[in-house]
Structure 1
Amino acid sequence: AQSGAFLRQRIATERAIAEQYGVDAGLLDTSGVDPRSLAWFAGTHVKSAVLGLWEDDDPASERLRIVGSYDPRGVLADLQRGPVDIAEFPPRELVATASAPEREICVVVPVRTRDRDWGLLAMVAPLGPSTARETYQHWAALLCAALESQRREAEVRRSALYDALTDLPNRTLFVAQLDKAIARWKRDGTPFAVLFLDLDGFKLINDSLGHQMGDRVLRQVGRQLQSVLREMDTAARFGGDEFVILLTDTDADSAHVAALRVQEALSVVNEFDGHEIVTRASIGIASSEIGYSSAEEVLRDADAAMYRAKSAEPGTIAYFDADMHHHAVRRADLAREVLRGLQEGHFEVHYQPIVNLVTGRTDRFEALLRWNHPERGFIEPREFLGELADTSLIVQLGHWVINEVCAQLERWKPHRTNVSVNISDKEFWSQDLLSFVLAALDRHGLPPDSLTLEITEAVLMRRPEMALRIMEKLHAAGLRLHIDDFGTGFSSLETLHRFPVEAFKIDRTFIQSLTDAENTAELISSLVQLGNALGIAVVAEGVETGEQLLFLQQLGCAAGQGYLFMPAVSAENATELLEESLADGSSESAN
């Protein structure tokens, strides 16, 4: 009898170990079956089970969502799913499965850890050694670990598809939805439209009230967009203050109505900590009427339409039409050609002498980009740079020019000269401008003052305070700084004086209109006097006649450049001009 009892005990122990192993394997491997399904009960002594998780993950709600059941016999078919009061748990359908003759009981254990309370697990099982509460509590602890692992995996997946700030879909998810809309349009002609929104004046909110306030405004905009859209539509945030909306089963006319509805929703006054803030957006619309083959094409065109609206009048709506489409296609083709030109060496840097108007010598040069197109020959910068101004390619081109200029300066040693490089709007605001310039100088063994960075007045005046901080860092690094196209913007004397610049360049339009406009001579005279008073050198661009040169010399203008002296020439020809006298415009090379 004793041996029989020992054998029974051993069998029961082995069953418990095998059972525990099966439960462990089922709960610890969350890559397969959802632990909430309770499929991991298969192979255990449990007859049936139900899992309830707190409504809204809040135990204080005292309501549970029935999210899973183990029902191998199919007796819980009528079990109510969804939220139930805690008083109704365990469900009577589950309790009814317990058989008194078979000595079955219903056990309820909390599913919680010290950090989180998930809910309750109810099980029906025969009374015996294997129904010890410690066993069920161990299973509940494993279930907690599985649910936490599942939650973290879901967060990772969600973060890859949703914007963390507004909880709206991000670009990845939006593009996937847009691809589906394009496929439906191709398949059965279901129209769609995309609205591209850019908040007007949002930078002012960030700068004046702080980024935390800006984030609150963006979250509110996200809620306002969702409030006016249909369930079938998708609103997404692409970053910054850009939002995009996909309108399914919507033609161009209906898209305009939707855009007006969005603008009306955004125009509501919102109060944040005593600040009344009204948002408005410039909106660009691209519709399936154009005939798109990819999501990126749609977004490109909706973005272009938005910029068209913003440039015409902020807070308005613009359609992407056929003319804009053709322009966008041309620009895309141009971008591809430029990229190929960079890869295949089609670009060159030419150098225009900057002449000291007192000594007549070539003080330094301005680097000017030239495109030696294999089919079209030399292409002037004005024919392509404007089209690339708001693309990353303009930064890529700028970096290429800086590196080429540094390489040429190294080749010009031991001649000690300086070259001015034009910095584009997008390049100036890029975070790596200073680090790239310094790395290029270091790579070619050059001191920082070998380079002069020319930034236009318009770029600086767009965000003067931030521009000042950037300019101060560039100046502190030892780089020379000039303001280009001076006189065409709206900078004040105070602003000019604050920037750490060594010179400003009078725009060529003033020099060329000397003999035509009555007030131009007085304006140029005032600019030169301004420079002298501030201790800032003045460089005149576009000097083409002896009369212009004489006028500038009489004013005391420090330097000039233009066709009178020499157009931009190749690096080889520029080498011959180092310290050559060009002030009389009679250099043989100029002919």
Structure 2
Amino acid sequence: MADLADTLSAEPPRGSSHALAEVGQLDRLRRSTMIPIVCYFWMCAACVALAAALVGVSVAAVALPLAVIGAIATRAALHAPGMLSTRLTLTVAINATWMFGLYVASAVHDGAYMLEVHMFYFINTAAILAFACWRSVVLTTVAALAHHLVLGLLQPGYVWPVGAHIWIHFGNHAVLGTLNCLGASLIALSLQRALTRMESLTTEAQDQAVRDALTGLLNRRGLREGVDALGAREDTPDEITILQIDLDGFKQINDTSGHAAGDALLVKVARRLTELAPETGLVARMGGDEFVLVLPGCPAEEVDALVAALFEWTRRPCRIEGRDVRFGASVGLVRAPIRDADIGQLLADADIALYAAKTGGKNRICTFDAEMRARTIAGKELADDVLRGLEAGEFEPFFQTQHDAATGAVTGVEALVRWRHPTRGLLEPRAFLEAAGSVGRMADLDLAMMRRAVDIVRGIEAEGGQVGELAINVSFSRLRDPGLVESVLMLPAMRARLTFEIVETVVFDELEQTELWALDRLRERGVGIAIDDFGTGHASIIGLTRLRPDKLKIDRQMVMPMLVSPEHRALVRSMVEMACCLGIYTVAEGVETEDEARILRQMGVCALQGFAYGQPMPADALRERLVRAADAHPDAPPAQASGGGAG
């Protein structure tokens, strides 16, 4: 309790609003009473000096010590109000005025009737001491009782008059003394309880402000304050190393074992990081499954050893609630001078390195460099540019035709998104699709392309052209979007069949009910389903029977090596035969030569697509080609991309 005032006088951190309100109220009370107490001292000192002059006591012997004591107390009150040392200094100063007052009063009364003066002295002193420190009240009360007991036995006349009415004076003094002691003790006890409660609330508020509730590690604010404190110390090394750590596979543990198991794992990770970190380091949890280590002046080899020990620990199964769980860790590292360090920027740089580690394969460490920041800034600018381009309608579909393998007639077209950038020209999907996904606008881009492609096809059909089928690429995650089916219903009618091409980047064996429901609703509305890039992903025969696609599009990476690789030729042949057995229509992509077309035709592939038949073209070129073909053969029925097999 004696040191509590120094804690309370400091600026309290944000936390419990109730605790801070009480702490602030006490601090304001102490500060606001400093000046009145100083004025009270000088008033008492002046009264004592004046009394000394009136009764013939040496004024210098009284006024000079009080002036020195008052100067010290006044300076403390002005420069450090509310501090424990200041309050004790004022207590001593006021006690000094009453001590000299007693000295002057003794000259007036010749030592008699001193208890009345004593009582007034102790009553005032008790209240002031209780304001300063409760221990002082107890010590002062005990000293007063002992003093009066000894003095009353040795010199009774100095304590009470020995003449008439002695028992009346004795009873009066006993009652006043008892009430004074009880009152002072009550004040002291009450203040002690209040300050103890405030101390507890203050500690709780401080912990809530700078500590993570689950792990007890520093939180973001605590880390920032810790780094600032390191930077302010003269003995801190010039460089710090920051490790930002993210747990790989934590979400799966949460989903399969429950959040309680996830919390238990976070506590274990926090304990292990604390064990690995040096004594001068800081360990913080930034939220979720992200942790940060700040290592001041740690050599590179020690950092490497720490990270190696962390990876070694994460490779071993961790026992949580009676089960072994496995997880990994990805680490982003940044080194920087600690003087004037911007912890916010350093954490952002560490996060960039962490992202590079996770995208590079996880369970690894990546060190930040300036090129990473440049790429991140460029990616952010590109993402902002994508949003602007969507609002400006700069994305448009290009079309590549698909042809019947036997006759060469156009059976349909695939819509391929292009970005007609105002300064960079025409951009292909690989230049912007990742940026569109990073800002969550793939659904908007898909919908915009779908609407524009359908409008273009309707225009071609109105001029007599025959399209047959319009294929649009849709990411598999879009099947979980409840708005996908509704967006198809909102499309205007056209004679061409709409087909969604789903890239084979998922395990079709693990289709969820939501995805199967979406596929069934799309089929009910006449939408075909095709698996794009077949042969490069995860589709199995069981998965194909569950998905029941209308088409398989054999990827160009399987088609291109056929002329020189008998193995690839055998693989493609087996794909075509499997599709025939399942009654699935086959399309070969990336056909660039007539020799490739001839081999695929002999294998029984239904349709061909590639540069051998035409590159992706804008809407005007497609319209001219299909309308001219319709004019040249007005009686020819359109070739149909049916769902039947090749045989």
The TM-score normalised by the length of structure 1 is 0.63
Three-state SS of the structure 2 residue aligned to 1:288 is strand
Are 1:520 and 2:544 counterparts? Answer: no
The answer (yes or no) to whether the contact 1:193–1:246 under 8 Å persists in 2 is yes
1:301 and 1:367, CA in 2 relative to 1: closer, same or farther beyond 3 A?
same
1:443 deviates by 5.6
1:123 paired residue among 152, 177, 190: 190
Verify: 1:460 aligned to 2:506, yes or no. yes
Q: 2:178 is matched by which residue type in structure 1?
A: A
**Quick check: 2:533–2:555 contact (8 Å CA) kept in 1?**
yes
Aligned match for 2:481, one of 431, 434, 439: 434
Amino acid at match of 2:519: H
Structure 1 residues 445, 193: CA separation in 2 closer, same or farther (over 3 Å shift)? farther
| Partner in structure 1 of residue 178 of structure 2 | 100
1:307 to 2:307 alignment = no
CA distance in 1, matches of 2:271, 2:444: 41
Q: How much has 1:204 moved relative to structure 2?
A: 5.3
Q: 1:355 to 1:151 in 2, by over 3 A?
A: farther
Q: Distance in 1 between matches of 2:290 and 2:384?
A: 27
- Counterpart position of 2:123: none
Matched, 1:343 2:332: no
Choose which of 509, 516, 519 in structure 2 pairs with 1:475.
Answer: 519
* Alignment partner of 1:506 is 2:554: yes
Determine the C-alpha separation between the residues in 2 that align with 1:443 and 1:183.
60
- The gaps in structure 2 that reach 5 residues or longer are 1-16, 34-86, 89-125, 145-175, 462-466, 631-647
Q: How well do the aligned residues superpose, as a CA RMSD in angstroms?
A: 5.1
Alignment partner, residue 396 of structure 1: 441
Q: Distance in 1 between matches of 2:177 and 2:410?
A: 105
Question: For the Cα contact (< 8 Å) 2:456–2:619, is it kept in 1?
Answer: no
2:553, 2:589 within 8 Å by CA — same for their partners in 1?
yes
Q: Say which of 248, 254, 257 aligns to 2:305.
A: 257
Deviation per CA, 1:61-104, whole angstroms, max 9, x where unpaired? xxxxxxxx999613475658xxxxxxxxxx95699799624484
1:543 deviation in Å? 1.5
Q: 1:437 to 1:150 in 2, by over 3 A?
A: farther
Mark the structure with the bigger radius of gyration: 2
1:333, CA displacement in angstroms?
Answer: 1.7
| Whole-angstrom distance in 2 between the partners of 1:484 and 1:529 | 17
Q: For residues 489-510 of structure 1, what are the alpha-carbon distances to aligned partners after superposition, in whole Å with 9 as ceiling and x for unaligned?
A: 3543223333353333211011
Question: 2:128 — aligned with what?
Answer: 73
Say which of 555, 566, 588 aligns to 1:540.
588
Instruction: Output the CA distance in 1 between the equivalents of 2:455 and 2:140.
Output: 85
Tell me if 1:196 matches 2:196: no
Work out whether residues 236 and 245 of structure 1, in 8 Å CA contact, stay in contact via their aligned partners in 2.
yes
| Distance change in 2, residues 1:251/1:180 (3 Å) | farther
Q: Secondary structure at the match of 2:178?
A: coil
Identify if the C-alpha distance between structure 1 residues 101 and 332 changes in structure 2 by more than 3 Å, giving closer, same or farther: closer
- Residues in 1 aligned to 2:401 and 2:306: alpha-carbon distance in whole angstroms: 56
Partner in structure 2 of residue 562 of structure 1: 610
How far off is 1:528 after superposition? Answer: 1.3
Q: Deviations over 1:30-74 (max 9, x none)?
A: 774427849779999xxxxxxxxxxxxxxxxxxxxxxxx999613
Deviation of 1:167 after TM superposition, in Å, equals: 5.5
* 2:122 aligned residue: none
Letter matched to residue 559 of structure 2 = I
- CA offset digits 1:106-135 (Å, max 9, x no partner): 7989xxxxxxxxxxx94289xxxxxxxxxx
Please tell me the residue identity of whatever aligns with 1:34: V
Change (3 A) 1:219 1:529: farther
The alignment of Structure 1 onto Structure 2 pairs a total of residues equal to: 472
Instruction: Report deviation, 1:299.
Output: 2.8
Once structures 1 and 2 are overlaid, which stretch shifts more, 553-562 or 415-424?
415-424
The 1-side partners of 2:225 and 2:572 are apart by 57
Distance 1:208 1:251, change over 3 A: same
Native 8 Å contact 2:238 2:337 kept in 1: no
Pair 124,228 (structure 1): closer, same or farther in 2 beyond 3 Å: closer
The Cα shift of 1:176 comes to 4.5
**Does the Cα contact within 8 Å between 2:20 and 2:205 map onto a contact in 1?**
no
Bigger mean CA offset, 511-520 vs 346-355? 346-355
Instruction: Tell me the CA shift for residue 563 of structure 1.
Output: 1.3
Q: 1:497 aligns with which of 537, 545, 567?
A: 545
Greater percentage in strand:
1
Residue 515 of structure 1: how far off its partner (Å): 0.9
Give the structure with the larger helix fraction.
2
- 3-state SS of paired residue (2:458): coil
CA displacement at 1:460 relative to structure 2: 0.4
Structure 1 stretches lacking a partner, 5+ long: 1-27, 45-68, 81-90, 110-120, 126-135, 583-591
Cα contact 2:247–2:328 (8 A) shared by 1: yes
Given candidates 270, 277, 288, the residue that maps to 1:229 is 277
